[in-house]
Amino acid sequence: MSITARHYSRERNQRETEDMSLLRRASTSLSQSLGFARRSLKSLKFAGESLDSSASPALIHGIHVFHCPDELGIVAKLSDCIASRGGNILGADIFVPENKQVFYSRSDFVFDPAKWPRVKMEEDFLKLSKTFNAMRSVVRVPALDPKYKIAVLASKQAHCLVDLLHSWQDGRLPVDITCIISNHDRGPNTHVTRFLERHGIPYHYLHTATGNKREAEILDLVQNTDFLVLARYMQVLSGSFLSSYGKDVINIHHGLLPSFKGGNPSRQAFDAGVKLIGATSHFVTEELDSGPIIEQMVERVSHRDNLQSFIQKSENLEKQCLAKAIKSYCELRVLPYEENKTVVF
């Protein structure tokens, strides 16, 4: 090999060695950068998202609703109450009606129960309630607090009752059903009876007659409930019963109140040729079908509907509307507003 050839070979080997060294350094730097990026992305937190479980304890969900006279600083104090205990607000709904000087809010938040015990949370919100002379201040922690206990009253029509039972079985209805009360005697081999027997839910048949609504017996059966549900219960509860019970009663009405009151509402609406049908879920008051409305749903009908399809659509609306109202109530989304209205967040 000539001197020139050997010199060229040495230069090429030297350049290749330098290139390999540069490549290794670049590879190491890239690997370190990627590792940093992975660590940064893993530790990055976004507002409203849960914290990385490997870096923080398990957080649980809480709900707080507040109703008080309106004044400056309420939102700041509410936020500080939660943040000062290490909680994080995930969402908040606020309503201040024009010219009414009242304040409504509902807050969803997460917190560490080890840092903010449930009893201490109650004390903190109570203190806030006294500061602002609140008419209502309720806190609920679904994972720690008992489910609401309800009794369901129903008559012969079973579509709403069956839907509630199946929703409860599937875990979509956050309540415990203590019993079913009915003025209709269901046989031992019906779908409802078999379902209740499988799940250990008592069924109480109380025959009613004019002048005897069996209200004293109903009161005895529902003493340990948090609220009542009327799932197409075709009896009017008296003012005396409502006063003695003293808690909320939720009803489903077959139409957009105040239309088509009384018996056979689907036939009334069908004969009237309506183009929209609906269902209304509302609180029960002494005045028939006039309590504060919680939820309403509608569906279009036409001349192509016969009475059977008309009734089917109406019953589907009733089931959906009642279930939605109960769920909203249990999630503290329903607040009283003025004399006969509701705020539903």
Residues with catalytic function:
289
Q: Distance between CA 221 and CA 178 in Å, rounded?
A: 9
Contact 223, 247 (CB under 8 A): no
- Backbone φ and ψ for 204, nearest 5 degrees, come out as -115, 115
Q: Distance between CA 191 and CA 65 in Å, rounded?
A: 39
Burial class (CB in 10 A: 0-12, 13-18, 19+), 67: buried
CA nearest to 332, candidates 342, 344, 323, 340: 344
CA nearest to 142, candidates 324, 332, 334: 332
Give every CB contact of residue 222 below 8 A, 6+ residues apart in sequence: 151, 178, 179, 181, 228, 245
Tokens in use for 214? 């069996």
Give every CB contact of residue 133 below 8 A, 6+ residues apart in sequence: 68, 69
Strands (DSSP E) found in the chain: 60-69, 88-95, 102-111, 136-140, 148-154, 175-182, 203-205, 227-230, 249-253, 276-283, 293-300, 334-337, 341-344
Q: Distance between CA 61 and CA 120 in Å, rounded?
A: 16
CA nearest to 153, candidates 161, 162, 165: 161
Tokens in use for 246? 């003293």
Q: Distance between CA 4 and CA 94 in Å, rounded?
A: 86
DSSP state of 212: B
Tokens in use for 118? 């449930």
